[in-house]
A = this chain, B = another copy of it.
């Protein structure tokens, strides 16, 4: 399960903490059928960048928080992220067979187990918070924030609109509305939970949320650009697919060059949002630049 270094040592150390904690959360009791446990581990422990939990730990650290309170929240957001990938890949949804260079969960196992593995990861996230984040008020606030971010008005609503169940107008407003929920909400809550576990003040929390909103948009533009350019190697999944389906993407709405320009603008905005933290904001700046570097 070891993964190659992507970041400077300080961030890699956080990545290791996250990987170790996720491994512990996959230590199921005998009530969990082995087949289901295997599917959950296959997805949750797959080599990944761990951007969301890294943001939680970086946000906690920039607010002088104690990482031991932030780690369960970081794992919780990674569990929600992984469930959403498993379900988005299902035949009835995006119908993807490849994810991070490996067969998707329903291909590796079967569709029923993929649905159930996703279903299991959601309560696992809330259990991690309820059991391991302290004190109770902080845990409850994390639970509330994560529930909203992964609920019908955010993560799930964004995916429903992205599937084209509802919208008519293919424009920039709808595009941002989809991705502020589908991608942005989870990135923002990663940061906000880091702030909450660190008992950050309102100003700090606000700066991190602003950073998260911009970063979420940047993240989606990068994904769309990679898909548009068909760089299967970098994506580890089938590309050019969104365009084939007539899906709403940044290159399809703004064009490639303007998407690039917008990406750089929005990344600078993200970094500007955290300048009040001074030098301590370096890891967050680095994570933002890493997100953008994936297109290059």
Chain A interface (Cβ within 8 Å of chain B)? 28-37, 40, 83, 87, 90, 92-93, 110-113, 115-116, 118-120, 122-124, 126-127, 129-131, 136-137, 139-141, 143-144, 146-148, 150-154, 156-157, 159-161, 163, 165-167, 181
Contacts and interface: CB of A to CB of B under 8 A. Distances in A.
A157 B32 contact: yes
A163 B127 contact: no
Max chain B C-beta neighbours (<10 A), residue from A127, A154, A167: A127
Q: Is the interface of A mostly helix, strand, loop or mixed?
A: helix
Contact of A160 (B36, B111, B137, B140): B36
A130 B147 contact: yes
Copies, count: 2
Nearest to A93: B112
9 contacts: A36-B165, A87-B116, A93-B115, A112-B163, A124-B151, A126-B126, A126-B147, A136-B140, A140-B143
A279 to B, nearest CB: 35
Given A153-B31, A156-B116, A147 B165 contact: no
A31 B153 CA distance: 4
A28 B152 contact: yes
B37 A120 contact: no
B151 A140 contact: no
A115 B140 contact: no
B111 A123 contact: no
Given A36-B152, A36-B156, A116-B160, A124 B140 contact: no
